[in-house]
Amino acid sequence: MRSNTRRSTGASSPALRAVAALTIGVPVLAAALSGCARTVIVEPAADAANPKCADIMLRLPDQVGGEQERTTSSQGTKAWGDPNVAVLRCGVTPPGPTTDKCLSVSGVDWISKGGESDDTWVFTSYGRTPAVEVLVNRKLGSGADVLAGISPALQAFQPERQCIGAEDVDAPPAGSAPEGSAPAGSAPEGSAPATAP
């Protein structure tokens, strides 16, 4: 005679259901919590697909100025901090000669400008291709700390130009005329000197 008794697999026991819930729930909770860090929406630069930008991106640190890297929406971009302390775009138009302030950090020259907002500094690498732009929220971070963290990633590419200041330009000696001009008091060849009345 056959018994109508079922053998329990234990799946319906309260203890096993609790373990199963924890086993499934913990990874789901961890995934949900890791999703709290929002993706930073960054417009890519015109030359973001430059292979040198990919090299720079791989060389950038996970932390800058004590802030952790965040996920960004576009190729050739990075961001650090939540809220953003620094946002980087590789492949921006290289700046030409300018009278804007220039500073050198770890052998990399940067043009410095106040951003559209008084709270943002805009730094653009100078003399290297591709050029890199870094926006720094000056209320949340130090431009010097951010550039100190980022500059080593650009050192792999040799500078084509360097910033110079007024003190770097040789001034003509006092009393000398620029090349190609006649000395004071002399007349050009083929002309008569002016005479006093």
Supply the DSSP symbol for 167.
G
Average pLDDT over residues 81-110: 95
Closest CA to 105 of 143, 66, 64, 156: 143
Q: Strand pairing of 77-80 and 67-70?
A: antiparallel
pLDDT at 194 over 70: no
More confident position, 23 or 42: 42
Predicted model pTM: 0.67
Q: Strand pairing of 108-114 and 101-105?
A: antiparallel
Q: What end-to-end distance do the CA atoms of the chain give, in Å?
A: 148
Q: What is the pLDDT of residues 1-35, one digit of tens each?
A: 555 544 444 444 544 344 333 333 333 333 333 44
Q: What is the pLDDT of residues 119-156, one digit of tens each?
A: 899 999 999 999 999 999 989 999 999 999 999 999 99
